[in-house]
Amino acid sequence: MTGTARLSLVIGTLLAVSSPVAFAQAFKAPIAKVTVTGLKKVPEPAVDEVLGLRAGQTFDAAKVRAAVAKLNATGLFSDINYQWSSNNRGIVIQIDVDEMSGLLRARMENYVWNDEDALWAAVKKQVPLFTGWLPSSGSLTSEVDAAIQDYLESKGLSQPLVQAMPGTKALSFTIIRPRLILAGINFEGSGEMQPELQQAAQYMMGLPYTTATMHGYLKTWFRNIYGRRGYLQAAAGQPVFQLTPYQDYEHVTVTFPVVPGKQYTWGQLSWTGDVFLSAAQLNALVHLKQGAMANLDVLNAQLNDAHAPFLKAGYLYPKLVPHFTAGSGDAINVQVQVVPGVRYRMGDLRVAGFRSKDMTKAQQNWPFHGGTFLNIVLLKDYMANFPDLRAVLQPSIQSGLVSVKLVAAGSY
């Protein structure tokens, strides 16, 4: 749930006076105590700071309502109940809160200065309620946005502009002024692989720098370039940035320290998970020669081919996930986790759009009978006879059936 909380007010009994608010304000009663309950992750001192209600202050109902409304506007709470009552020392204010579930982790999408820890420390100092987690909307998110911009200004940037973008797991802050353009990438300690790593990164040059793009590069190109040479555990360390002003841009050059790790040879191969094939059948699909230099490209290609028997047996979305453990010497053992997923049977065959001759022929000669396991490999081969048609799969996890809809190529 996002947005502001539900507020409710219960006014307690103030001695025998009919109007508790009138009593308190007529006699300028002091606030005796302010108690906030229900806090789990949100720091109580920061909540007290937002409320601004202190023992000894003169009670004012309007100020209490305004203080609670301000707390509500932060977006941190799904429910706030508050009430006040009196004792012989004055007015006691009780505020009960339920913290919002599903807060998002705050992260910088394109921070290219080498002091991100100092940035977040400055933000927390300026915004005491900020703990590293934020609601997708509310005043707290806006305050953090402003604090980031203040920090960038303190670094000498002119009129920086930051935009908050909530996602499913994180709330990302992106610097949109100045524009940060990737101009170069280096890998310290990569030796003879530096040219290949830089060549593979050319597609990113001239594009806005983002950590998402960089992580994608490291996960694919960096991992594969090292992996095909036996360095299966090569890692890129914390990046170091260099900025070069250019017109209204900042050109960004990134340098990653590289820890290549050990160069491995293939060790033992094993299988785990929900496997309907025997180990001998699986080993015939993936054959790694023990003692040969480990090559991630070869392994991935063989695992891709090993999907075929699962696809033929009705498993639409099988996963074969390799896990690596060090063996003796330079050997690395591979355990492949098999997650076949749901096994589907053929359901209904449907057609959509204009009924061409190919559509009629494909329907009349349909090779799959209802209730039989759907062979995806055979389906692809069959549809290759009808290049102007597409087969759209509509699986149901609940029933274990998959309906197939024949449509013209380019249609849905």
Q: What is the pLDDT of residue 411?
A: 64
Instruction: Assess if CATH 3.40.720.10 describes domain 345-408.
Output: no
On whether the CB atoms of residues 395 and 331 are closer than 8 A, the answer is no
Q: Is the pLDDT of residue 288 over 80?
A: yes
Q: What pLDDT sits at residue 393?
A: 96
Among 113-122, 181-190, 275-284, 336-345, the minimum mean pLDDT is found in 275-284
> Would you say residue 23 has pLDDT above 80?
no
Do domains 265-339 and 345-408 share one topology? The answer is yes
The verdict on domain 265-339 having CATH code 3.40.50.880 is no
CATH class of the domain comprising 6-99:
alpha beta
Residue 144 to residue 136: CA distance in whole angstroms: 12
Query: Does the pLDDT at position 308 exceed 50?
Result: yes
Q: How are strands ordered across the β-sheet holding 104-108?
A: 133-134, 104-108, 170-177, 161-166
Q: Rounded mean pLDDT of the chain?
A: 90
Quick one: what percent of the chain has pLDDT higher than 90? Answer: 82
User: How confident is the model over 114-164, as pLDDT tens digits?
Assistant: 899 999 999 999 999 999 999 998 999 999 999 999 999 999 888 999 999
| Domain extent listing, the chain | 6-99, 104-177, 179-259, 265-339, 345-408
Confidence at residue 2, expressed as pLDDT on a 0 to 100 scale: 42
Q: Tell me what pLDDT residue 27 has.
A: 55
Q: Average pLDDT of 9-30?
A: 53
| pLDDT of the residue at 409 | 75
Write the CATH number of the domain with boundaries 104-177.
3.10.20.310
- DSSP letter at 153 equals H
pLDDT at 331 over 50: yes
Q: Is the pLDDT of residue 355 over 80?
A: no
Mean pLDDT of 188-201: 93
Decide yes or no: CATH 1.20.1270.10 for domain 179-259.
no
Rounded-to-integer distance, Cα 360 and Cα 370, Å: 18
Who has greater pLDDT, 81 or 12? Answer: 81
Q: What is the CA radius of gyration of the chain?
A: 31
